[in-house]
C-alpha cells in the first residue's frame, strides 16, 4: 500500500510517498524560510498563500521522485491540525480533492500524532512507549498507548521548548528559526558561565513533577543580556551554551520523573522516544539517551530530518490510522487547535 502525505501546518510545504512496509519513497520539503526571515517569525497569511502556490508542484515532485503516478496511490493523508489554519485548509482541501478524484480514502492526521508516531516508521517499537514531544508549539511527556490514545503525564505551563530556543535566539540576535543556530553557537560557549533558572524544580508536589516552564528561563537570559550591554561573540556563545544546558537539565529531570512515575505505577515501558523539532538537537539527544540508559530503557530518536516538520510523518500517521480502519469523511473540518487528548475514534 502506498500513501501520499501532505504537511502544510506551519512554514514548510511538504509531500511524501510512504509504503505500509515502512519505506519512504520520497519526502519533498519546500521551506518558506526566506519569506518569513524578514519578519523574524512565521506570518500566517504569507504562509497560507505560499502553500497554495507551491503545494501542487511539491506533490508532483514527490510523485516523480518516487517514480509513480497518482493512480498508484492507495490513500491520501493530510495534516488536519493543529496549526496555522490557512495552511491546514490548503493541505486538507488538496487531499480531499485527490481522494474524491481518484476514489481513494482521505485521512486527517493530527500533526502531533505525526511527530509522536514517526519513531515507529524508522524503528521497531511497539506500544506502549514513553514519549517526550518537544517542538515549536509543544512540550509534553506522555505514554503513547496507540495511534489514537495518548496519556499525557505533564506538559508546559507557558512556552514550548522550541519557542524558548527561538525567543532566546532573537534575544541573542540570531536569525529565525533559532534552534539550530543556538545549537551551533553553544558549541563554542561555556555552559557553566551563566546560572539560568530551572523553573518548577522547587515545586515538590507530584502533580508538577512532569510539568515544564520556560518563560522564567527566557526572562533570565534577557536580563543577563541587558546587564552585559554590548555582547561579544564569546558572551553570546556562553549565553547560548548556558541556555541549552539549562533546557537539557529541565528536559532530562522531567523525563526522569516520568520514568519513575511509570515504574511506581507498575507500567513497564521498554522504550523512551523523543520527537519534534527540538529532538533534532544533538546535545539534547545525547543527554536524553543517558537519562534513558540510567533507567534501563532503550532510547529512540528519529533521524534529524524526520524530527522537524515533514510529510513522511503525516503519511505514516495516515497508515497507522488506516490499519485501525480510521478513515475520515470528506466533511472533516480542519482544526487550528487539536490536542492529542481529543483524538476521537471513528466507529465503523
Ligand atoms: P508543533 O509541532 O508543536 O506544532 P512546529 O511544527 O512549528 O510546532 P517543529 O517543526 O516540530 O515545530 O519544530 C520546530 C522547532 O524546533 C523550532 O522552534 C526550532 O527552533 C526547533 N529546532 C529545530 N532544530 C533544533 C535544534 N537543532 N535545536 C533546538 N531546537 C531546534
Ligand atoms: Mg517549521
Ligand atoms: Fe511540528
Domain borders along the chain are 2-116+306-342, 127-301
Grid cell digits, residue 271 = 522504550
Q: Which atom of ligand 1 is nearest to the CA of 42?
A: 7
| Residues 6 or more apart in contact with residue 124 via CB below 8 angstroms | none
For residue 242, with 0-12 CB atoms within 10 Å meaning exposed, 13-18 middle and 19 or more buried, which class applies? buried
Domains 2-116+306-342 and 127-301 share a fold: yes
What CATH number does domain 127-301 carry, 3.30.420.40, 3.40.50.970, 3.60.70.12, 2.40.50.140? 3.30.420.40
The per-residue pLDDT for 266 is: 97
The per-residue pLDDT for 348 is: 63
Q: Which residue has the cell 509522536?
A: 116
Taking the C-alpha atoms of residue 21 and residue 12, their distance in angstroms, rounded to an integer, is: 26
Residues having C-beta closer than 5 Å to ion ligand 3: 135, 309
Mean pLDDT, consecutive 10-residue stretches, the chain (348 aa), reads: 98 97 98 80 90 98 98 98 98 98 98 98 98 97 98 97 94 89 98 95 92 95 94 96 98 98 96 98 98 98 98 98 97 97 83
Taking the C-alpha atoms of residue 313 and residue 109, their distance in angstroms, rounded to an integer, is: 9
Does the complex come out with an ipTM higher than 0.90?
Answer: yes
Pocket perturbation via mutation, ligand 1, pick of 161, 162, 248 by most ligand atoms within 8 A of CB: 162
Residues with CB under 6 A from ligand 1: 10, 83, 111, 115, 135-138, 162, 165-166, 177-180, 183, 276-278, 280-281, 308-309
What DSSP string describes 129-197? EEEEEE-SS-EEEEEEEETTEEEEEEEBSS--HHHHHHHHHHHTTPPSSHHHHHHHHHTTS-TTSS---
Query: Is 179 known as a binding-site position?
Result: yes
The per-residue pLDDT for 175 is: 81
Residue nearest to atom 9 of ligand 1 (CA): 277
Q: How many A from CA of 309 to the centre of ligand 2?
A: 6
Q: Which atom of ligand 1 is nearest to the CA of 307?
A: 11
Please give the class, per CATH, of domain 2-116+306-342.
alpha beta
Long-range contacts of 176-185 (CB under 8 A, 24+ apart): 176/33, 176/36, 176/37, 176/40, 176/41, 177/33, 177/136, 179/277, 179/278, 179/280, 179/281, 180/280, 182/240, 182/243, 182/244, 183/244, 183/281, 183/282, 183/283, 185/236, 185/237, 185/240, 185/241
pTM: 0.97
The per-residue pLDDT for 347 is: 76
The per-residue pLDDT for 303 is: 98
The per-residue pLDDT for 36 is: 77
The per-residue pLDDT for 345 is: 82
Query: Is 19 known as a binding-site position?
Result: no
Amino acid at each position: 500500500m502506498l500513501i501520499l502525505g501532505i504537511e502544510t501546518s506551519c512554514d514548510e510545504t511538504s509531500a511524501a510517498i510512504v509504503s505500509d512496509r515502512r519505506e519512504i519513497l520520497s519526502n519533498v520539503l519546500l521551506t518558506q524560510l526566506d519569506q518569513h526571515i524578514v519578519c523574524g517569525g512565521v506570518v500566517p497569511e504569507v504562509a497560507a498563500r505560499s502553500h497554495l502556490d507551491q503545494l501542487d508542484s511539491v506533490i508532483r515532485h514527490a510523485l516523480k521522485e518516487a517514480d509513480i503516478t497518482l493512480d498508484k496511490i492507495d490513500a491520501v493523508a493530510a495534516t488536519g491540525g493543529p496549526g496555522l489554519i490557512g495552511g491546514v485548509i490548503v493541505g486538507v482541501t488538496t487531499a480531499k480533492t485527490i481522494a474524491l478524484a481518484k476514489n481513494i480514502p482521505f485521512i486527517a492526521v493530527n500533526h502531533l500524532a505525526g511527530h509522536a508516531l514517526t519513531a515507529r516508521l524508522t524503528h521497531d517499537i511497539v506500544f506502549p512507549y514513553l514519549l517526550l514531544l518537544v517542538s515549536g508549539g509543544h512540550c509534553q511527556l506522555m505514554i503513547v498507548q496507540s495511534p489514537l490514545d495518548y496519556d499525557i503525564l505533564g506538559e508546559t505551563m507557558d512556552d514550548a521548548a522550541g519557542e524558548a530556543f527561538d525567543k532566546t535566539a532573537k534575544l541573542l540576535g540570531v536569525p529565525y528559526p533559532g534552534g539550530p543556530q543556538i545549537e551551533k553557537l553553544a558549541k563554542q560557549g561555556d555552559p557553566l558561565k551563566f546560572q539560568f533558572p530551572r523553573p518548577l524544580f522547587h515545586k515538590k508536589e507530584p502533580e508538577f513533577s512532569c510539568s515544564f516552564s520556560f518563560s522564567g528561563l527566557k526572562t533570565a537570559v534577557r536580563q543577563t543580556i541587558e546587564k552585559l550591554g554590548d555582547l561579544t561573540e564569546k558572551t553570546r556563545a556562553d549565553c547560548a551554551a548556558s541556555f541549552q544546558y539549562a533546557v537539557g537539565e529541565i528536559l532530562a529531570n522531567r523525563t526522569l520523573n516520568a520514568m519513575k512515575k511509570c515504574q511506581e505505577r507498575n507500567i513497564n515501558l521498554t522504550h523512551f522516544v523523543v520527537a519534534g523539532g527540538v529532538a533534532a538537537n544533538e546535545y539534547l539527544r545525547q543527554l536524553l539517551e543517558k537519562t534513558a540508559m540510567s533507567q534501563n530503557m532503550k532510547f529512540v530518536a528519529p533521524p534529524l530530518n524526520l524530527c522537524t516538520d515533514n510529510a513522511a510523518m503525516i503519511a505514516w500517521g495516515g497508515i497507522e490510522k488506516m490499519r485501525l480502519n480510521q478513515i475520515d469523511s470528506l466533511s472533516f473540518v480542519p482544526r487550528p487547535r487539536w490536542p492529542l487528548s481529543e483524538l476521537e475514534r471513528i466507529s465503523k
